[in-house]
Amino acid sequence: MKKMYKMIAISWSVSLMLALVLTTNLPVFSQVPAIPVLQSDGLTQRIERELERIARLGGGQVGVHALHLESGRQVSFNPQVRFPMASTVKVAIAVQLLTKIERGELALTTMVDLQPSDLHPGSGTISSLLAKPGVQLSIENLLELMMVISDNSATDILLRLAGGTQAVQNRLNELGIRGMSVDRSIIQLLADLQGVTLPPAEQWTTGFYEKLEAERLPDARKKAVEIFATDPRDTSTPAAMTDLIGGQVMLFSADFAVMLPQVKGGKIRGLAVTSTKRSPAIPELPTVNEALGLKDYELIAYFAMFAPAGTPPDVVAKLNQAINAAAQSKDIQEKFAGIGFAVEPGTPEALAQRSKLETAKWAKAIADAKIEPQ
């Protein structure tokens, strides 16, 4: 039998804090202690010897660099040898793009008009969209296409919005990433690899690249591949790529009681709060809506007082009056505010309405995300 409850109508709500954990000794984050790199031990040496054995079996040059985030222990094989980045350059582009978003120069919701000249080789989703004119995608959509399905058209659009290859390289330099070079757009990189000479960008139309490939001289591809193999542009060492994607930052959210002391102590960097209003406990942090240019983003946890179904109305009214009186005391307000809670006295009817709205909101989120019952 389903147990029912009556609303008493006080609630404590708390937003979550998005935080950036800094775990590197790069200059831009020099105020945060770095995770120490542990000395190589016997197990690490055995792993590295096994990597070397496997690499010999492959018949080509292999580079590996792995970092265990919790301990800082590393294993590697040819960690300082440069390799063509190919699609992994998209990680560096994303870093510069997100930097511009964090600075308020762009927003995830910024809409981008797609033109026929934006259709580059290695694009599936966008090529189907461009069958009709007047297509717009948000930066968030393009970022997902770039990072999830490695769409090349989305990548070059985002590279342009990020400020171009030099802006990406400058950001890598600011972060202290050494051994990584970002020099060309994806379409230029592919053209150099495949022996295709690109016309000026204003001449790029739907299908132009495929036509150029068909007209290419028979030995052009072979010569291009030979040159590309020794081209130092758009290359990275395994160690540099690990520094970029594994050794710098971790993004996560948690409640104020856990995060606030860490942020104020300089252990981590707070990015935003997930409520619709800034928190009095740390008013310098913007809301997610402010930081990302969103409108109605809200992710809060709330706690409320309930009574069993069938509780007489006069009892509910007395409990409501007593709890609201306590909640309005300065001492209670200050104690809860110190850990990021907002105390909100109210009526049973208001709490019932809030519970109804929250249930509907999360039911929709679960359905939209296609989360199956466990």
Exposure of 240 by Cβ count < 10 A (0-12 exposed, 13-18 middle, 19+ buried)? buried
**Is the model's pLDDT at 252 over the cut of 70?**
no
Average pLDDT, stretch 345-371?
86
Whether the Cβ atoms of residue 81 and residue 237 lie closer than 8 Å to each other: yes
Instruction: In whole angstroms, give the CA distance from residue 262 to residue 256.
Output: 10
**Is the model's pLDDT at 279 over the cut of 60?**
yes
Banded model confidence at residue 276, pLDDT cuts 50, 70, 90: confident
123 Cβ partners below 8 Å, 6+ apart?
151, 152, 153, 154
pLDDT tens sequence across 301-343:
778 888 888 889 899 999 999 988 888 888 888 888 777 778 8
Ranges 4-13, 46-55, 64-73, 240-249: which has the least confidence: 4-13
**Is the model's pLDDT at 93 over the cut of 90?**
yes
pLDDT tens sequence across 21-48:
333 222 222 222 333 333 456 788 888 8
Q: Taking all residues of the chain, what is their mean pLDDT, rounded to a whole number? A: 79
DSSP 93: H
Whether the Cβ atoms of residue 239 and residue 65 lie closer than 8 Å to each other: yes
Q: Would you give the end-to-end CA distance of the chain in angstroms?
A: 21
pLDDT tens sequence across 173-231:
888 888 899 999 999 998 898 888 888 888 887 778 888 888 888 788 889 888 888 88
Q: What is the pLDDT of residue 144?
A: 87
Helices 165-174 and 89-102: crossing angle in degrees, nearest 10, is: 80
Q: What is the pLDDT of residue 88?
A: 87
pLDDT tens sequence across 132-152:
666 888 999 899 888 888 888
Q: How far is CA 249 from CA 29, 106, 252, 254, 355, in A?
A: 10, 21, 10, 16, 36
Percentage of the chain lying above the pLDDT 70 cut: 80
Q: What is the pLDDT of residue 9?
A: 52
Domains present along the chain, CATH in parentheses: 5-17+274-368 (no CATH), 83-245 (3.40.710.10)
